[in-house]
Structure 1
Amino acid sequence: MKRRRYRLLSFIACALLLLLANAYTAHAQYPTTNTRPGLDTTVSYDSQGRPIHKRTNSGNDSLKHRDPLEDSITITYKFFDSTRIRKLDTSINDFSTRYPVSPKYVDLGNLGTAAQSLLFNPWLKPGFDAGFHAFDLYRYSIEDTKFYQTTRPFTELAYLLGSSSEQMGGITHTQNRSPNFNFAFNYRFALSPGKFRNQNTSFNNIRFNTAYVSPNKRYSSFFIFINNRVNAADNGGVQADSSLNALTGQLNSPFQVPTRLANNAGKGSPNPFNTSFATGTHLSETILMYRQQYDFGQKDSIVTDSSVIKLFYPRFRFQHTIKYSTLSYNYTDGDVIDSNYSKYFNMQAITGDTISYKDKWNDLTNELAIISYPEKNNLNQFLKLGAGYQALQGKFVYYNGDTTFGLTRNNIYLNGEYRNRTRNQKWDIFASGQFFASGAYTGDYAALISLRSQISKKLGYLSLGFQNVNRSVSFVYDSRSSFPSLSEGNFGKENITHIFANVDVTALQMKLNGDYYAITNLPYFSDFFNAKQYSSLFNVLHVSAEKKFPLSKFWNLYSEVHLQQKTGAAPVNLPTFFTADRLVFEGNFFKNLYLAMGVEVRYYSPYKMDNYSPFTGQFFNQGSYTTSNRPDINGFLHFRIKTFRGFIRLENLNTFNIANGSAGFGRYNFTSEHYAGRTLWLHTGIWWNFIN
């Protein structure tokens, strides 16, 4: 209870401090006077470096013009290591853009539990990988970090309340302290007790990042700090799926259903004030990244009637990036019931009442790169060559915590990149490569090339790409990991070839996508503990289509359809058909009211979905259990009034059932073998923007 109170008080305190900071800086920040030599001192500059003439009339001018930017904001952002400028998403009809688990994923029945993609989604990075990706949806990463540029301090507060005391909240704040310096702060938390025994979860994410450019525009730097914490209890699934049928139409709580782990009914309860548990997974991650750049190039200037604006065109850049990260992944059971382990998981007898598996990694990477810009007026065209040194240290705590083992790995890699987005925006070329030249991952590499071109204004854009990755298997498959992975021996390098094509038909509001994979040496788990490798070549084909169908002035249908198929006897099970559709009544009413209300439907065809092993943190292939789920159906009412957005959702209407002469919402869909999904679930949430 103290821990939850502390989180809520921290959330409120952060919100108040950020709002006070906005109020303090709003009047002093914009415009800022630029006193650099050579510039007109009668001119001030906004956060984008645009000149604003000072007024010379000291008296009260009743006819003075109102500043058009006084009550508005210009804000854009780029993802880290990207040149594409994006705008904030103000849409309201797609709730999945704000909820961590998208329709393309299924979790184990509760927010914060392990989640898996319904679409084929292999890991496409060479080199070191710890192998724990079941909780990636609840983690911030460097790749999804946004670097903003804004003319006003901007804050967004979010709070979501769900059934069974589920809560999720967050703060996003960014501002330009000067035209050359921006910082952004993100915080997100979630608490979810769940409906079943020992299903409570929580996760916390913090991110702070800055971007700085020197006044002469030669030096620039980027800093990112990320901290992720995920705590997910695990009950191993229900002991018998049929036990849920007796709950239909009754007041019985699913909490009373016997589970395969943590089945001591005298311990634990579905309590939102209690986030601790005896059995489950703890993930902790910290990332620090600092990148600095220095440019050589050509000076220039623009002379107007009353000012001189200095410009600088980089032609040659030195870049240094240093990153330090720690990752700790731990499964523990402090209340072992030996008979359950042997009965349901075929695990040998356990001595004592506690088991624990823990892998901890420290990763320090130093990288130097040289970047050349062939054309001074096109910074979206460049060639980059670099090299990096990686120092890895692993520490593994076995079984009861008494035995530890350490491991050190040093690696040297080379990388390169070429980008060219033509100034007419009709051609966009991207090519990149990485090769591990020495160390534990010698021979690992990744190569990617893609081409995007505008076919015509009517037909839109065509993208084509080729990717090949040769990678060592993730460390969780290694017998030296503390996790009980019983491997067949030394695994060869996994090789994945990915060919893709995308067509964006703007005039028809339609997107067509195709992916072809060719894989050899696929590592996989065949049960709760046994790791194997499928050495034969096999293929996976995936095609999809997305389209908006305007039905009337206010009615629209958003449809997304996927088809995927594997060849051969590879240990990969996928739904052949997947669709997610939204029928929406939407529009702008009463000047400031934007409304979107309707029904969402998600359906995937029956297939042998993977089971989950909490002992290794992996979804594993099985061939005996086949899903027979109903389509997931949600009703929703979303609205926006100026900067306030509200979401009211009644989810899983498909669980309605009549049994034993009474009606209720008790027809469960199963998201993995023995793991039941949610029944009727209410979500209400707000996302509120503040501009100072």
Structure 2
Amino acid sequence: MGGGGGGSSKMQRDTGKHVHELDTLTLTYRILGEPTDYKLDSSVNDFQSNYLRVPASYATTGNTGGAAYNMIYTPRMKPGFDAGFHAYDIYSNSHKDARFYYTTRPYTELQYLVGSKQEQVIGLTHTQNRTERFNFAFDYRKINAPGYYRSQNTNHDIYRFTARYQSKNKRANTYLSFYYNKINGGENGGLRYDSLMKNPNYSQRKTLPVNLGNGASTTYSFFGGAIPVKTNYRETGFLIQQQYDWGHGDSIHINDTLDIYKYDPVFRVQYSFNYESNNYQFLDTDADSAFYPKHYNFLPQGDTVTAKHQWKLISNDLSLIQFPVRGNLGHFINLGARFESLTGTFLDANINFTNLALHGEYRNKTRNQKWDFSLRGEFYAVGQNAGDYSAYGMLKRRINDFLGDVRLSVSNVNKEPSYVYKYFGSNRDAWYNTSLAKENITQLQFATENKKLDYTLAANYFLFTNYTYFKDYYHSAQYTSLFNLLQVTFSKKFTIKPFAWYVDVAFQQLHGNGPLNVPTFWTRNRFAFEKRLYTNLNLVTGLEFRYNTGYYADDYSPLTGQFIYQEKTKISNPLPDISAFANFRIKSFSAYVRAENLNTFLGDNNYAAPLYPYNNFAFRVGLRWWFIN
């Protein structure tokens, strides 16, 4: 079911004291398939989520914009075709998170961050209703960070455009989503020797020898620059969804001069066209003669090593939707089918295949917001991914303001392993694995959220069969036996005014011998002084500590763009990552001032992965303005 549309709620502006102000702007948004209106979050208490847009639990290869994965394990639970390149997903746009706005006045938001070593992040968002029935929105984000170590530059440009249109009689709706992700991630293969980190001759980290791009010169430019070894992703998506409704319309008399036309759909026909083009490339223009024989079993011939995988998807989806209860768009039955056509282009071959998927959903979100029940499923009946399926069930109940919301859910997915596990080709060699069976993952979840007591709790139990992974830099493998993972996450704010303690905790325990390594314990603690000073100054300042227990953190394979399982090097950082922050908001202006990696003054640099240390001390200032025109 499509999202979008308006609402009468005012925009909420959250302060560190959870005091809400009402602006003169009505601004809400929806995402496709979700009947709930959302509001913008303008709080300043969390730099990672509210500003940087990268969760604190993510580990990178050491630099802003670098390859990253979540230490709180989150398996991909989606059937059907998947190319398998996800190391930069956290920075990219997709259709599933596209926002379709409704606003009474044009709204613009600007963001700018500057940090040590010429790090810069720029953000621009604009949305406006051209008429009551048509809205468009544009979003741009640039991440540019040379990094502390050689050949580590990142330079990303992320674009998004969305629009929605509703006919005058409110029976026809159109939603358009377009994104373009331009990812340039410098790859250095990690340090050659981590023992050199303690050598005083290498106090300037750019002089440390690395495994890739060590002898090449790197040219920095905010709009480009030369990156000698890089991952180069180009991801384009275009989706248009059209709906036509049958139902009941009424004119509601407001006063002597105002009538509002309200239309309640009973039956809907929905058509979605989706086009995606994804180009994944690795390029090393000055190949190191030692790194490739050791990790990929080939000796570079000439000056360049490159790999290129390009995928194009065209899909057409037709759905029939019924709304059993008039006026409740959260109660519906959806039945549909989708036809997919995929084309893969590699350096040595091309392939084409098709899929036919059947899907259905029953959703009942009651108008009093107390109950939310969902059953949905998808089955690939014909094609390359025939036999893939997903099934999901969820029951959510709002108890009351004190006890909050409780949710129970179960999910099961059976899917082909990502294509990169079955084939990967470069201009030096190609590797195949044709013996992989379908993966099966089950997730059982209990979750609760309490806004009054200000906490969230989730307990997940995962079961894995035919778990697929990379056992080294280019060989994939499959663990056929059953194993499971218990995961508990908890977040809460404790307050003794004007002081606050924000705690985020994750506990993970693996049962069985599955090839999956996760930290047993991860936590982030923020100790803050937060208060509204004078009339409009909202201040949040304090210290942040992030820590996880030692574990065999995944290594990273630059050529294939994959995080890989390893059991040789255990990452045990003795000190937490320590930061000091001072965040504040004055009306429509916010600022984030941070001093990060203070732990480097007390000990050695912490490591994200084998041979991938985090940065030295860094200073960052982030600014955010929003304007109502």
| Same structural fold, with TM-score higher than 0.5 when normalized by the shorter chain | yes
The change in CA–CA distance for 1:211 and 1:570 in structure 2 (over 3 A counts) is same
Q: Secondary structure at the match of 1:338?
A: coil
* Partner residue in 2 for 1:187: 140
Q: Secondary structure at the match of 1:87?
A: coil
* Aligned partners of 1:502 and 1:511 also within 8 Å: yes
How far residue 48 of structure 1 moved from its aligned partner, in angstroms, is 6.4
* Aligned partners of 1:478 and 1:485 also within 8 Å: no
Give the aligned residue type for 2:314: L
Superposition misfits of 4+ residues, deviation over 3 angstroms: 47-50, 269-274, 480-489
How far residue 101 of structure 1 moved from its aligned partner, in angstroms, is 2.8
Q: How does 1:70-85 map to 2 (within 5 A)?
A: 72-85=24-37
The change in CA–CA distance for 1:657 and 1:70 in structure 2 (over 3 A counts) is closer
Give the aligned residue type for 2:59: V
Q: How many angstroms apart in 1 are the aligned matches of 2:537 and 2:300?
A: 61
Give CA-to-partner distance per residue, 1:140-183, whole Å, 9 cap, x none: 11111111111110000100001000000010000111111111
Q: Which moved more, 1:610-619 or 1:347-356?
A: 347-356
2:322 maps to 1:372: yes
* Partner residue in 2 for 1:227: 180
2:541 maps to 1:597: yes
Give CA-to-partner distance per residue, 1:316-353, whole Å, 9 cap, x none: 000000000100000111111213322x4252222222
Structure 1 unmatched runs, 5+? 1-46, 51-68, 398-403, 659-666
* Partner residue in 1 for 2:16: none
Match of 1:111 among 64, 76, 87: 64
Give CA-to-partner distance per residue, 1:497-540, whole Å, 9 cap, x none: 01101012333222211000001001101111111000000000
Q: Which moved more, 1:270-279 or 1:604-613?
A: 270-279
* Aligned partners of 2:219 and 2:225 also within 8 Å: no
How far residue 304 of structure 1 moved from its aligned partner, in angstroms, is 4.0
The change in CA–CA distance for 1:405 and 1:596 in structure 2 (over 3 A counts) is same
Corresponding pairs, count: 609
Rg (Cα) greater in structure? 1
Q: How many angstroms apart in 2 are the aligned matches of 1:600 and 1:125?
A: 35
* Partner residue in 2 for 1:560: 504
Give CA-to-partner distance per residue, 1:282-321, whole Å, 9 cap, x none: 0001100000000001122223441432221100000000
Q: How does 1:237-316 map to 2 (within 5 A)?
A: 237-247=190-200, 252-264=203-215, 267-268=217-218, 275-306=225-256, 307-316=258-267
Give the aligned residue type for 1:508: L
Alpha-carbon RMSD: 1.9
Q: Secondary structure at the match of 1:122?
A: coil
How far residue 87 of structure 1 moved from its aligned partner, in angstroms, is 1.2
- When the two structures are superposed, what TM-score results if normalisation uses the length of structure 1? 0.85
Q: How many angstroms apart in 2 are the aligned matches of 1:281 and 1:83?
A: 38
2:458 maps to 1:513: yes
Q: How many angstroms apart in 2 are the aligned matches of 1:615 and 1:500?
A: 36
Q: How many angstroms apart in 2 are the aligned matches of 1:268 and 1:457?
A: 56
Q: Secondary structure at the match of 2:290?
A: helix
* Partner residue in 2 for 1:405: 349
* Partner residue in 2 for 1:26: none
* Partner residue in 2 for 1:390: 340
The change in CA–CA distance for 1:339 and 1:594 in structure 2 (over 3 A counts) is same
Q: Secondary structure at the match of 2:199?
A: helix
* Aligned partners of 2:508 and 2:520 also within 8 Å: yes
Match of 1:159 among 112, 134, 157: 112
Q: How many angstroms apart in 2 are the aligned matches of 1:350 and 1:650?
A: 42
* Partner residue in 1 for 2:622: 685
How far residue 186 of structure 1 moved from its aligned partner, in angstroms, is 0.2
* Partner residue in 2 for 1:23: none
Q: How many angstroms apart in 1 are the aligned matches of 2:503 and 2:563?
A: 29
2:586 maps to 1:670: no
Give CA-to-partner distance per residue, 1:437-469, whole Å, 9 cap, x none: 100000001111111002233211110000000
* Partner residue in 2 for 1:542: 487
* Partner residue in 1 for 2:12: none
* Aligned partners of 2:421 and 2:433 also within 8 Å: no
- When the two structures are superposed, what TM-score results if normalisation uses the length of structure 2? 0.94
The change in CA–CA distance for 1:340 and 1:311 in structure 2 (over 3 A counts) is closer
Give percent identity, aligned residues only: 40
Q: Secondary structure at the match of 1:101?
A: coil
Q: How many angstroms apart in 1 are the aligned matches of 2:59 and 2:241?
A: 36
Match of 2:590 among 639, 642, 645: 645
* Partner residue in 1 for 2:13: none
Q: Secondary structure at the match of 2:117?
A: helix
Structure 2 unmatched runs, 5+? 9-20
Q: Secondary structure at the match of 1:508?
A: coil
Q: Secondary structure at the match of 1:603?
A: strand
* Partner residue in 2 for 1:329: 280
